[in-house]
Structure 1
Amino acid sequence: MKRYLWVLGFIACLCIGLSVPAQQNQGSRGTVLLLDIQGVIGPAVSGYVQRAMERGGDKGAALIILRMDTPGGLDRAMRDIIRDILASPVPVVGYVAPSGARAASAGTYIMYASHIAAMAPATNLGAATPVQLPMGAPPSPGEGEGKEEGQSSQEAMARKAINDAVAYIKGLAAQRGRNAEWAEQAVREAASLSAQEALELGVIDLVAADIPTLLKNLDGRTVSVAGGETTLRTTGMTITRVEPNWRDRLLAIIANPNVAYILMLVGVYGLIFELANPGFILPGVVGTISLLLALYAFQVLPISSAGLALMLLGIAFMVAEVFVPSFGALGVGGVIAFVIGSVILLDTDVPGYEISWPLIIAAALTSAAFLFVVLSLAIRSQQRPVVSGREQMVGAVGKVTGVSGDTATVRLHGELWSAQGTEPITLGQRVRVTGLEGLRLKVKPEPEEDHHD
């Protein structure tokens, strides 16, 4: 029995000894998290990248790849992503792919911030000039920061924005050891480079056609991350693609300026309809939900407070036209304020973050058509004869059913009224009411030729 026990113990130790290197080898390979950044960089993209990086840090990912194809995006979202990259203990690779992709504007800054910058063949990056600039010519290289004599405030603000962007990207270039001189050209002159040119000028670290080639070329490289230096061992790594969660997808939908714009209109008009017709419930519920979603979207979008105020003022004027007849003055003013507010609602010129002109025109025409219908009904109702009250008696025609001295009895609207004629009247004669004193009518004979029985 002891001999058998020794044999079993030896076999168990041998199995454990063989399994430990295998586990260590499996751990050394690690996991690569692949994130796709496609389209405009906005709040949804920055939230998606932030959560993926947190997941990578918590689960011990060995590498994070940001595969990009973007025309740029919002400054705040870009800076949030760069802040996460700089603080990441996991190496981050900025990779412009597939062939034909680009990393323009905000994408260029993210490439400079990444621990390793790579591009696929037939891709490009650059054109990093801030697009959210006041009207005026961009400053040329070498000009000072201060406001020169004869220079407008808008030009001075443009100069400050350019210089701030230059300082930012040069700081990233210095931290990663990349070409700072070309980075300044990308900001001041909107310069762009192909993948091969970027490699030759030291803007990126390597060119790779696909992810496997990229991982092969990264093997053995040493990079400096937030926790210190680390050497990449990318051979045999497992690639895990990280998809946006439901929150990121919802934010990506409602943060679309056109969708947020429609949600706001649905919300405002839904609440107005509910307040004008209490008890319908459905318009109020739909309006409240739509308005809350729109407000959440506006919270993460660069909204102009003046534009939003003009839109709300325009809607208020159009609604007031229904209750306070101004013969179109409030309505026309409301439509004008609504259109102007819609145009300047978003305080940015970033492509993909503007409200569609057809949508603005459609919303304005719909509101104008509604006002036209309301005003037409109001004018028609004013021109219609009065059918109730004392006013409807004047001008009505009745028949004399009895005469007693200067007083007569007149049948009018199926009722018998006491009447006094301004002229002599006879039994059976038709008379027209000219006035009303208390409960006595003032009448005059009606010419017989005006009535044909």
Structure 2
Amino acid sequence: MTTTPRLLFFMTLALMGALLPFAGLMAEQTQEAEREPGLVLVSTIKGAIGPATSRQIEAAIAKAEERRAEALVLRIDTPGGLVTSTRDIVSAILASDVPVAGYVWPSGGHAASAGTFIIYATGIAAMAPGTNIGAATPVTMGGGGMPGTPQQPPARPGQTEGERTSPSNEEAMSKKATNDAAALIKSLAETHGRNAEWAEEAVREGASLSAREALEKGVVEIVASDIDSLLTQMDGREVVTASGRKILATAGAEVEHVEPGFMVELLALISNPNVAFLLMMIGVYGIIFELSNPGSFGPGILGAICLLLGLYALNQLPLDYAGIALIVLGLTLMAVEAFTPSFGVAGFGGLVAFVFGAAMLVDSENPDFQISWWTIMATAIASAAVLILLLGYMLRAMRRPVATGAEEFAGAEARVLEWAHGEGYVHIHGERWHARGPAELAPHSTVRVEKLDGLTLIVR
């Protein structure tokens, strides 16, 4: 190698060595730029999990994906809710391209039952100090003992031990529901690397944990006192989303709270079984009033709107079809009583069917999604009052003298206008009528009508 090429070679090496630190610095700056914190959306879930909650979370996820948010945080404080809504929420979270974090908040709050499933479905599980999670056992329809440990009823005469220990249909359905819930929460735990054994205990045995215990047992990843602390601890963690694994850059991110939209708030209001039930009743009575008084329009229009809103809200809830059938039968019988009086037989029979149907209408043991007995009794008393008024009006109408036709003249008083030879004209009910009667009657005298003969009154 000659001197000149050798010199060029060493100069090139020296230049590369000088530029190497700058290249490393540029790579670090590029990496920092890629991990620059962005936007984090926060949606607060409070109260029972139902159709409105499902709609709220789906809308929040859609907005987070549209805004290309770094993460969506669900602040949760719930006693539980409907299975159908919970599964819809879990499916929406698992299908999200944006990382979703579940945060049990505030202190004193809890994520019980359905809330436990939602926390397990999120990519990051967190709790505030003073909160708890668990108690996710599906409630049996009959409200009996825990599935898997059924209480044995006393043996009937002639019943074998095998017959005595065989599960009833209710126990079998409860066991199926529990096994299904346990399989779901174990699958969610395995997806995000959480404690699957405790998750199964929460479903089968109703186990519950405090925030610190949940962190120690691997049920949650973070215990944070507020959103800022949560975002700091989330930063740099890897989470699983529908589009693959992502590393979070949430430290110092801009936080924006997502408020429920008008339709979500409306659904939350009318999906309350008591409100939905009252809307349906107002609708039915409004339509009945419109049919009995054609042309009033107002009650019919208001009734139709309330009935449609009530039916839409009830359609979002788990309904018992026997309860629906009894309510329809009850309302039909009460309508029959209103239009074709049957001395209260149809009306009060319909009232009994209505009360039983209302008690059975919503197929859920969750008290937040049951029709209150106060609501049932209030509507039953109002319906009974309407029936009593109709019955009283009918009885009074039966006792009232006939006011039309020939019978209305019998016994009525009339004043003689003209009279001669046993006949003449009298004034009665503001009209002039031809009459026959005694010959000695004189004008301006008062007579009483005996009957109507054709178009002639017979007087005395």
Instruction: Provide the TM-score with structure 1 as the length reference.
Output: 0.82
Which moves more between the two structures, 213-222 or 148-157? Answer: 148-157
Runs of 4+ in 1 over 3 A off after TM superposition: 20-27, 134-138, 147-150, 392-404, 407-419, 425-443
Flag the 1:226–1:441 CA change in 2: closer, same or farther, 3 A.
closer
Which residue pairs with 2:55 in the alignment? 47
Q: Quote the Cα distance in structure 2 between the aligned partners of 1:265 and 1:399.
A: 54
Match of 1:231 among 219, 229, 247: 247
User: Does residue 72 of the first structure (1) align with residue 80 of the second (2)?
Assistant: yes
Q: Do the aligned partners of 1:318 and 1:335 also contact (CA within 8 Å) in 2? A: yes
Flag the 1:133–1:168 CA change in 2: closer, same or farther, 3 A.
farther
Match of 2:107 among 99, 103, 106: 99
Match of 2:231 among 195, 198, 215: 215
Q: Do the aligned partners of 2:434 and 2:455 also contact (CA within 8 Å) in 1? A: no
Which residue pairs with 2:11 in the alignment? none
User: Does residue 117 of the first structure (1) align with residue 125 of the second (2)?
Assistant: yes
Q: Quote the Cα distance in structure 1 between the aligned partners of 2:184 and 2:31.
A: 43
Q: Quote the Cα distance in structure 1 between the aligned partners of 2:338 and 2:248.
A: 70
Which residue pairs with 1:31 in the alignment? 39
Q: Do the aligned partners of 2:292 and 2:339 also contact (CA within 8 Å) in 1? A: no
Deviation at 1:124, TM superposition (A): 0.6
Q: Do the aligned partners of 2:286 and 2:303 also contact (CA within 8 Å) in 1? A: yes
Q: Do the aligned partners of 1:138 and 1:159 also contact (CA within 8 Å) in 2? A: no
Which residue pairs with 2:94 in the alignment? 86
Q: Quote the Cα distance in structure 2 between the aligned partners of 1:214 and 1:252.
A: 29
Flag the 1:287–1:27 CA change in 2: closer, same or farther, 3 A.
farther
Which moves more between the two structures, 108-117 or 84-93? Answer: 84-93
User: Does residue 130 of the first structure (1) align with residue 138 of the second (2)?
Assistant: yes
Q: Do the aligned partners of 1:134 and 1:158 also contact (CA within 8 Å) in 2? A: no
Structure 1: runs of 5+ lacking an equivalent: 1-17, 420-424, 446-453
Deviation at 1:392, TM superposition (A): 3.5
Per-residue CA deviations over 1:224-270 (Å, capped at 9, x if unaligned) read 32222222222221111111112211211221222211221222222
Deviation at 1:123, TM superposition (A): 0.4
Q: Do the aligned partners of 1:68 and 1:94 also contact (CA within 8 Å) in 2? A: yes
User: Does residue 379 of the first structure (1) align with residue 395 of the second (2)?
Assistant: yes
User: Does residue 280 of the first structure (1) align with residue 288 of the second (2)?
Assistant: no
User: Does residue 364 of the first structure (1) align with residue 380 of the second (2)?
Assistant: yes
Where in structure 2 are the equivalents of 1:295-310 lying within 5 Å? 295-310=311-326
Q: Quote the Cα distance in structure 2 between the aligned partners of 1:31 and 1:115.
A: 17
Where in structure 2 are the equivalents of 1:244-323 lying within 5 Å? 244-323=260-339
Match of 1:63 among 71, 93, 99: 71
Q: Do the aligned partners of 1:134 and 1:157 also contact (CA within 8 Å) in 2? A: no
Q: Quote the Cα distance in structure 2 between the aligned partners of 1:418 and 1:235.
A: 109
Flag the 1:430–1:188 CA change in 2: closer, same or farther, 3 A.
same
SS in 2 for 1:28: coil
Deviation at 1:309, TM superposition (A): 2.7
SS in 1 for 2:97: coil
SS in 1 for 2:362: coil
Deviation at 1:329, TM superposition (A): 0.6
Per-residue CA deviations over 1:361-418 (Å, capped at 9, x if unaligned) read 22111121111112111101111222332334455678999998xx988979575544
Flag the 1:187–1:23 CA change in 2: closer, same or farther, 3 A.
closer
Which residue pairs with 2:178 in the alignment? 162
Q: Quote the Cα distance in structure 2 between the aligned partners of 1:87 and 1:396.
A: 84
Q: Quote the Cα distance in structure 2 between the aligned partners of 1:227 and 1:142.
A: 44
Q: Do the aligned partners of 1:71 and 1:107 also contact (CA within 8 Å) in 2? A: yes
Deviation at 1:83, TM superposition (A): 0.8
RMSD: 3.2
Deviation at 1:181, TM superposition (A): 2.0
Q: Quote the Cα distance in structure 1 between the aligned partners of 2:420 and 2:63.
A: 101
SS in 2 for 1:29: coil
Which residue pairs with 1:7 in the alignment? none
SS in 2 for 1:81: helix
SS in 1 for 2:367: coil
User: Does residue 336 of the first structure (1) align with residue 344 of the second (2)?
Assistant: no
Flag the 1:403–1:179 CA change in 2: closer, same or farther, 3 A.
same
Flag the 1:441–1:142 CA change in 2: closer, same or farther, 3 A.
closer
Q: Do the aligned partners of 1:30 and 1:238 also contact (CA within 8 Å) in 2? A: yes
Q: Quote the Cα distance in structure 1 between the aligned partners of 2:334 and 2:369.
A: 27
Deviation at 1:96, TM superposition (A): 0.4
Q: Quote the Cα distance in structure 1 between the aligned partners of 2:396 and 2:54.
A: 56
Count of residues in correspondence between the two structures:
417
Q: Quote the Cα distance in structure 1 between the aligned partners of 2:112 and 2:256.
A: 26
Q: Do the aligned partners of 1:268 and 1:291 also contact (CA within 8 Å) in 2? A: yes
Q: Do the aligned partners of 1:34 and 1:67 also contact (CA within 8 Å) in 2? A: yes
Q: Quote the Cα distance in structure 1 between the aligned partners of 2:179 and 2:395.
A: 60
SS in 2 for 1:259: helix
Q: Quote the Cα distance in structure 2 between the aligned partners of 1:120 and 1:249.
A: 26
Q: Quote the Cα distance in structure 1 between the aligned partners of 2:404 and 2:36.
A: 92
User: Does residue 390 of the first structure (1) align with residue 406 of the second (2)?
Assistant: yes
The code of the aligned residue for 1:113 comes to: A
Q: Quote the Cα distance in structure 1 between the aligned partners of 2:46 and 2:237.
A: 27
SS in 1 for 2:40: strand
Q: Quote the Cα distance in structure 1 between the aligned partners of 2:212 and 2:29.
A: 41
Deviation at 1:299, TM superposition (A): 2.3
Q: Quote the Cα distance in structure 2 between the aligned partners of 1:220 and 1:67.
A: 21
